[in-house]
A and B are shown apart, each in its own frame.
Chain A
Amino acid sequence: MLLDSGTSNLLSVQRALDHVGADVVIADQPSMLDDADRLILPGVGAFGHCVANLIENGLFDAVLDYARRERPLLGICVGMQMLFDGSEEFGWNDGLGLLPGRVQPIPMSGADGGRHKIPHIGWATLERSGPDWAGTFLEGFGRDRAVYFVHSFSARPEAVSDILAFADYDGIQLTAAVRRDNIMGTQFHPEKSGQAGLGILSRFLAM
């Protein structure tokens, strides 16, 4: 089930899910989440705007209820950021609080102090954080495969164990994928990352 968070990448995610053979329902009512086997929370644009959209449609609490039932939840981009306590984008806005941590601006310079471009736009490989991706939605993901990012803010999880993967940006480690039990997220866009991204969506659907 794909949550209609009023975001402009909703249909892109739907197309990608259709392509990998998922049976997709777009949920725009809280009660629709009762029957979901899996839930994807897409999101692009400003964090506060995305959260406000969820609250307005009664979906904020519905996502929390869904998450408590321990069924798989995947947040994409701002959808992943919303899993955290909140974001500093345009002043503090609370998130869903399913994962401890905050979303902060990407540093304006790389590790060597040289300025780099913000937003961070483009393809990057995933660097493993922790021992193994076995049993996660990144299982079997190749080291040299790249996925597509576009973001100006980045999640800083409090628990290192929640981080599955980083992306390197001039020596700065950006949180690329997170997981704690049934709560999962990608900062990158699997729906826009070619075959590599479609493979990740397939693995999420198989969980």
Chain B
Amino acid sequence: MPHLRLIARLDIKGANLIKGIQLEGVRKVGDPNTFAVQYYQEGVDEIVYMDAVASLYDRQSMMEIVRRTADSVFIPITVGGGMRSVDEARDMLRAGADKIAVNSAATLNPSLISAIAERFGSQCMVLQIDAKQRAAGRWEVYRDCGRERTGIDAVEWAMRGQELGAGEILLTSVDKEGMRRGFDVALVRAVSEAVSIPVIASGGMGKLEHLGEVVEAGRADAVAIAHVLHYGSLSLPQIRDWAGAAGLPVRAMA
């Protein structure tokens, strides 16, 4: 496999980095650009900005954040949260994003996935899936920041997304998000085995061992990390060193 990607996920509200719990309760953490630059310097592999509100006002504010970050952070930047159209995706790409994550709008209008993939390439089109467990081995897709049920099965939706042209899946467990008790390994594995595109596991990282579980048992191709980084309970060098020692193929920092 290529190197396991360690991705910093930054959820944004207005001008601030926030940290939610199960995508709902939020706390302000600080200036997102400061965090992004620090993670870049510490060797994070990618940055994901997620607009937690996605109102018109917030969209402008997000574009400004992306613009500032892209000026000094030379690694892939993914932007998601409330993306509704090809035009919105284009504006965000122009501001400096490399990839667009689409969630709610795609569940209502799946052709948005193929429209973005055809216009900008599949490498730009990240299908964001927020999933909640309904029964053993069954997960339902949620939209609008984990608030609304869609009735769609998460594994089937991942397969459909791949067919429509998604180049990657950003998979968040609504149950595990912000809880720091580990990823939903069964969910990640079910999706990762069902598709041939890479899967980014998101939601639940609390300690180093969680990383090993979701990569080895869950077959995650990449891991999105938020809480433990933003509050400084784990640092990127610490995570990378541990992963290297555990035999996970992370990028060496030269």
With a cutoff of 8 Å between Cβ atoms, the chain B residues found around residue A167 in the complex are 2
Do A121 and B124 touch (CB < 8 A)?
Answer: no
Interchain CA distance A189-B197 in the complex, whole Å: 19
CA A12 – CA B123 in complex, angstroms?
15
Please give me the residue from chain B that is nearest to A117 by CB atom.
Answer: B198
Per-position binary interface string of chain A over residues 184-207, scored 1 when its CB falls under 8 Å from any chain B CB and 0 otherwise: 000001011111111000000000
Known pairs A19-B74, A122-B3, A148-B76; A117 contacts B120 (CB<8 A): no
Residues 210-254 (chain B) with a chain A CB within 8 angstroms: 221-222, 251-252, 254
Q: Contacts A122-B45, A123-B251, A192-B98 known; A15 to B121 CB distance under 8 Å? A: no
Chain B interface residue count, CB cutoff 8 Å, equals: 35
Q: Are A9 and B98 in contact (CB under 8 A)?
A: yes
> B124 to A8, Cβ gap below 8 A?
yes
Find out whether the CB atom of A119 lies under 8 angstroms from the CB atom of B74. no
Binding-face segment, A21-29, A32-40, A149-157: A149-157
The complex places the Cα of A24 from the Cα of B164 at a distance, in Å, of 37
Are A117 and B76 in touch, CB under 8 angstroms? Answer: no
> Does A170 make an interface contact (CB < 8 A)?
yes
Interface membership of A169, Cβ < 8 A: yes
Q: Which of A8, A150, A151 is in CB contact (< 8 Å) with B120? A: A8
How many residues belonging to A are interface residues under a CB distance threshold of 8 Å? 43
Contact indicator A194/B197 (Cβ below 8 Å):
no
C-alpha gap A6/B3 in the complex (Å) = 30
Binding site for B on A (CB under 8 A): 8-9, 11-12, 15-16, 19, 44-46, 108, 115-125, 142, 144-146, 148-152, 167, 169-170, 189, 191-198
- 13 CB < 8 A contacts A-B: A19-B72, A19-B74, A108-B196, A118-B196, A121-B5, A121-B198, A124-B3, A144-B254, A146-B251, A151-B123, A192-B74, A192-B76, A193-B75
**B-to-A contact residues, CB < 8 Å:** 1-5, 40, 43, 45, 70-72, 74-76, 90, 93-94, 96, 98, 118, 120-124, 167-168, 196-198, 221-222, 251-252, 254
